[in-house]
Amino acid sequence: MTTNRDYYDILEVDRSAGVDEIKKAYRRLALQYHPDRNPDPEAVERFKEASEAAEVLTDPDKRAIYDAYGHAGLRGRGFDGFADIEDIFRGFSASGVFGDLFADLFGFATVRRGRRPKRGSDLMYRRRITFEEAAYGLEDKVEVERLMTCDVCDGTGGRDGAKPVTCATCGGTGQVAAHRGFFSVATTCLNCGGTGETVNDPCPECKGEGRKPETVTINFSIPPGADDGVRVRLTGEGESGLWGGPPGDLYIQVTVERHPLFKRQGDDIVYDLGISPAAAALGRKVTVPTIWGETGIKIPAGSQHGDNIKTRGEGMPRLRGGGKGDHFVRLSVIVPRKLSKKEKELYKKLDELEEDNSG
């Protein structure tokens, strides 16, 4: 028996304390006195003392004996405390009541793991599309190499579908103890990779992995109005899950190429139109291109550089909600760099008129 001090006093709890309160008290003391955290020579004894108290007070049978007969009652029934730090590890590992807290504090799993279902990985495919394809939408297909459940062993990894067995190295916990002096640290079992199970006779097709690579052709659709950076999700078209887990998804990452004429602003499209000073001053009817074909617009008299003329419903389809955005013609007044003789005469007359009007 490590100590004859009262277990309730050691953990600083009332005699009526529940298991959760006792675990909380032990957590605090264990973190305070654990030899890896506290270099004080007395810390080892304090840690052993607190561990012994917690082992007894979280076990209903041991606690009942202790409450009735004290330390002598425990000795009479075979419990004589912990001999050393490793003995604490072994004691808690065998304790179903306290094993979860022990694993939480020190990273050493005490319960059998087994192969839990694991979701398959998601896959990503990048697709460049033209500006027009973004507007109209696209139906296409892609070849994808992905891991699929082995059809020979049905995903078990064993020959003829044989089930995996408990790992002989870790006993099914998925972890083994690595010793550092008097202290033990849990590490992932290399024999089973942390699953707690192994395949003795691997499937010759998938080499015991339970999955094998396959190349498949998958059809997909990019909806009208898709913008640069949009991801189209194809549910369940990723890699197969492990050990009965669901498959992952396939994502189509969209990159939209630039257009020589149009710029996109959300669901709207902007087209830059250069006009002469005369057209800006007098107004004019012109035909302009849109993503859906040509359309006629009227340039109002007195238009200024940078003005926008809107054509409703001629922009990009809206991904969320019906209809389309608008098409904007942005005016750019262009002053000619070279003038003919007649143009110079006309501009001179215009300049004289402007001087007279300003006077």
* pLDDT on residue 77: 74
Burial of residue 142 (CB within 10 Å: 0-12, 13-18, 19+) is middle
Reply yes or no on whether the pLDDT at 178 is more than 70. no
Distance, in Å, from the CA atom of 183 to the CA atom of 48, rounded to the nearest integer, reads 12
Answer whether 0.75 is exceeded by the pTM: no
Q: What is the mean pLDDT of residues 95-102?
A: 46
Find out whether 187 and 175 touch, Cβ atoms under 8 Å: yes
Q: Nearest-CA neighbor of 117 among 242, 234, 18? A: 242
Find out whether 106 and 186 touch, Cβ atoms under 8 Å: yes
Q: Nearest-CA neighbor of 296 among 320, 327, 267, 325? A: 327
Distance, in Å, from the CA atom of 10 to the CA atom of 50, rounded to the nearest integer, reads 6
Average pLDDT over the chain, rounded to an integer: 85
Lowest mean pLDDT among 43-57, 68-82, 198-212, 250-264: 68-82
CA dihedral 344, 346, 352, 357 (to 10 degrees): -140
Comparing 96 with 64, which gets the higher pLDDT? 64
With cut-offs at 50, 70 and 90, classify the pLDDT of residue 52: confident
| DSSP output for 24-80 | HHHHHHHHHH-TTT---HHHHHHHHHHHHHHHHHTSHHHHHHHHHHHHHHHHHTT--
Reply yes or no on whether the pLDDT at 93 is more than 60. no
* pLDDT on residue 70: 86
With cut-offs at 50, 70 and 90, classify the pLDDT of residue 359: low
With cut-offs at 50, 70 and 90, classify the pLDDT of residue 153: very high
The domains of the chain, with CATH numbers, are 7-106 (1.10.287.110), 123-164+199-256 (2.60.260.20), 262-358 (2.60.260.20)
Comparing 112 with 292, which gets the higher pLDDT? 292
* pLDDT on residue 37: 72
Reply yes or no on whether the pLDDT at 266 is more than 90. yes
Beta bridge partners of 205: none
Burial of residue 288 (CB within 10 Å: 0-12, 13-18, 19+) is middle
With cut-offs at 50, 70 and 90, classify the pLDDT of residue 243: confident
Reply yes or no on whether the pLDDT at 325 is more than 60. yes
Reply yes or no on whether the pLDDT at 6 is more than 80. yes
With cut-offs at 50, 70 and 90, classify the pLDDT of residue 98: very low
Q: Quickly count: other Cβ atoms within 10 Å of residue 197's Cβ.
A: 20
What the block records as the tokens of 302 is: 């007195």
Distance, in Å, from the CA atom of 135 to the CA atom of 327, rounded to the nearest integer, reads 13
